[in-house]
Amino acid sequence: MARVEHLHRRPIVTQERIAADLRKLGLGAGDRVFFHSSLRSIGYVEGGAEAVVRAFQEVFGPTGTVMVPTFAWEYRRFEVLRTPSQVGRITEVFRRQPGVLRSWHPTHSVSVWGADAAELIEGHHLMPGLGPDSPPARLAGLGGYVLLLGVGHNRNSTIHVGEACANVPYWGRTWPVPKDPVVVVLPGGEIIDVPLLHPPGCSAGFDAVGPVLEARGVVRKGFVGAAPVQLMRGQDLIDVVVDMLRENPAALLCSNPACASCRRAREILAART
């Protein structure tokens, strides 16, 4: 065992360990969570992504709710049951589990397991993917947590929800919307056209929320296996984002001069002052 560990240069992490680490953060049966993850960051996970998914199901239980992003940027055709998630191995394994429901949004679908799944995904394809009534917003409204598992705030989609709730002038306007609707194949085989509305912009500057969350004492830090994790209530996060953007609407834009989305956002803000 020790030799294998040495070869991988990463700790060997079991499903039991992951479950124990989640409980150590204060999570348990009946809780709700939206989590963003990097499988590799956890270490060498015995049983791979499947073991991670089972650990979450074990900890939250059938009365709890577990949501992951299963985003896919396929602008022509999106098949709810078939199009793979493009945001990590754990999310792709998760969406294929029995009992998991995937929302019908062509680019920003989420997959949900547990008590509130149907209610959370209802009508997602009819609204902006990360808008003020999207599944991550609803989960936050129910007191749900956001968990960053080995990833930073640049992967924290609920911050986009906060931008929407703040109604920041650039929201949904920094990328051109494709002219044609996306063809969406529903789970029953029916085919519908879905226009894309208000695509979210750049998230490279989102780490700016970190110090504000800490100053308010609303983020818990720890580890799952070798992965550093941050746990916060979705509503606390949205409140922080709204307050930051009220004070400075450019607070969450990135500083990369080559970023077309943030450049456009600054133009929109400048035109309003």
Return the range that interacts with Zn ion (CB under 5 A); candidates 26-34, 178-186, 222-230, 260-268.
260-268
Answer for which of 204, 212, 218, 269 binds Zn ion (CB under 5 A) is 204
Parallel/antiparallel/unpaired status of strands 182-185 and 101-102 = unpaired
Min dist. Cβ of residue 162 to Zn ion (A): 16
Of 108 and 138, CB closest to Zn ion: 108
The residue assigned the tokens 């984002």 is: 241
Instruction: Give yes or no for residue 265 binding Zn ion (CB under 5 A).
Output: no
Within positions 239 to 258, which residues make up the interface with Zn ion, using CB under 5 A?
A: 254
The letter for the amino acid at 106 is P
Instruction: Give yes or no for residue 268 binding Zn ion (CB under 5 A).
Output: no
Answer for which of 64, 155, 259, 264 binds Zn ion (CB under 5 A) is 259
Residue count at the site for Zn ion (CB under 5 A)? 5
Return the range that interacts with Zn ion (CB under 5 A); candidates 99-107, 109-117, 188-196, 201-209.
201-209
d(CA 116, CA 21): 24
Of 137 and 262, CB closest to Zn ion: 262
Of 229 and 259, CB closest to Zn ion: 259
d(CA 94, CA 110): 10
Q: Which residues are CB-neighbours of 66 under 8 A, at least 6 positions away?
A: 32, 33, 35, 56, 57, 60, 94, 112, 113, 114
Of 202 and 231, CB closest to Zn ion: 202
Residue pair 156/129 in contact by the 8 Å Cβ criterion: no
Min dist. Cβ of residue 253 to Zn ion (A): 6
Answer for which of 80, 90, 110, 202 binds Zn ion (CB under 5 A) is 202
Of 117 and 265, CB closest to Zn ion: 265
Of 227 and 254, CB closest to Zn ion: 254
* Residue ranges in contact with Zn ion by CB under 5 A: 202, 204, 254, 259, 262
